[in-house]
Amino acid sequence: MQIGRNDLCWCGSGKKYKSCHLAFDSKIEVFRDQGHLVPPHRIIKTKEQIDGIRESGKRNIAILDYVASKIKAGVTTQEIDDWVAEKTKELGAIPAPLNYEGFPKSVCTSVNDQVCHGIPSDKDVLKEGDIVNVDCSTIYNGFISDSSRMFMIGDVDPVTKKLVEDAHKAIDIGLEQVKPWKFLGDMGSAINEFCKSQGYSVVEEIGGHGCGLEFHEEPWVSYVSKPNTEMLMVPGMCFTIEPMINLGKRHIYEDADNGWTIYTEDGKPSAQWEVQVVVTDNGYEILAY
């Protein structure tokens, strides 16, 4: 339905369309006419929504800080899940993964060759030399934040340590490309090129996603994309950057028993960090890390 210049803006600001999002939408239409994928209104967050996601993100960060203060050799991944559940409740929030499409725990813990979606267990004991990704997603007042961190347990071999450090560098390199009126493919390509230059492979089948009002929203975010492709980034878009970087080949498989955990096919380590960002008028803001 066409919005008139003097109608109220679709964003809910209460302002007339002509003095709110008319120029914004007109700019988007130029890109659409050029054949680019552009964001629908429903995934462009308002200031109030961004404020809510930011508050959720503060709790998400605090939960991962809490894990960071306690994680060490001898800890089980179930203990990590217990910490996340405890801290999330203390902060008045809800763990988004719990019962999401049947996921049985409050957090994902992915160890060594587990790429993602590792299920915490009292049988999985972290030992010296392990690496583990703790992926935390938080609901607060209905707004959702999502981020993950890598932890190195004790002395990790130099090759694997470099993988973890380079996976973090890849996030920073991707962030340099997050600018309004550029494309998600610019960011994904920068990450992929860096990872390939270091001899790694990037998982293709699993990527980032929009997030904020729902756990998983549009757009799907690839890290093996080409410049000037994928969705146009505009102010108010909120999504995760979370490339999964393998020391060996990119090929992966899903645990047939639990239907969740993803492993590297060659058994070599995988590393992933995740941040949640919102595109701003000048660049980006990190809402959760």
Indicate the SS3 state at residue 120. coil
- Cβ atoms of 278 and 236 within 8 Å: the answer is yes
pTM, 2 dp: 0.95
pLDDT at 1 (0 to 100)? 66
pLDDT at 2 (0 to 100)? 83
Indicate the SS3 state at residue 221. strand
The whole-angstrom separation of Cα 140 and Cα 87 is: 13
pLDDT at 160 (0 to 100)? 98
CATH label, 39-288, candidates 3.90.230.10, 3.30.565.10, 3.30.429.10, 3.40.47.10: 3.90.230.10
Note the maximum CA span of the chain. 65
Residues of the chain with pLDDT under 50: none
The residue type found at 48 is E
Can the peptide bond before residue 219 be classed as cis, meaning omega within 30 degrees of 0?
Answer: yes
Q: Where are the domains of the chain?
A: 39-288
